[in-house]
Amino acid sequence: MEAKNIKNANINCWHTNTDLGCDVKTLLRNDVRMKVGKEYLGILKLDSDAIIEDFLCRDPHYTFTETVPQTVAKRNPHVYDGEYITVTRRDDGSLRLNFKELKKGAGFKVERYALGVYNELCIALGGLVEEE
């Protein structure tokens, strides 16, 4: 029965291992010690894998570092991203216009830049703002 479980685990790309007598050092953000049943998001690193020759077994040492949880929703998501401007929506639903860095190079003309900004504003705000 156990061989069947290991075979299924390998099929699902999970390899089960048990290290007996291992040392684990934890670096936690809020808890002083790990709590039973609580799941921690982090990185587990194998620091050393010494083999004790008297017993012919491994004596591994691990370090677990808890990581910062990722935010689920992105703050102020972009609703339009153009060549000259970006439009973001704030938490209260209002729109914010942001100008991108002005690229002054060979052939730069203020009129062409202003017209490009105007066209992008019309495109971006066309579907986002109700006209009265």
**DSSP bridge partners of 23:** 61
DSSP 76: S
User: For residue range 80-106, what is the model confidence (pLDDT) as tens digits?
Assistant: 889 999 988 888 878 899 999 988 888
User: For residue range 21-79, what is the model confidence (pLDDT) as tens digits?
Assistant: 788 899 888 888 999 988 888 888 888 776 666 555 667 888 888 887 776 666 778 88
Of the candidates 24, 77, 12, 71, the residue with the CA atom closest to the CA atom of residue 48:
24
Residue pair 64/27 in contact by the 8 Å Cβ criterion: yes
Which pLDDT band holds residue 13 (cuts at 50, 70, 90)? low
Residue pair 56/96 in contact by the 8 Å Cβ criterion: no
Distance of CA 116 to the CA centre of its chain: 34
Q: What is the pTM of this model?
A: 0.43
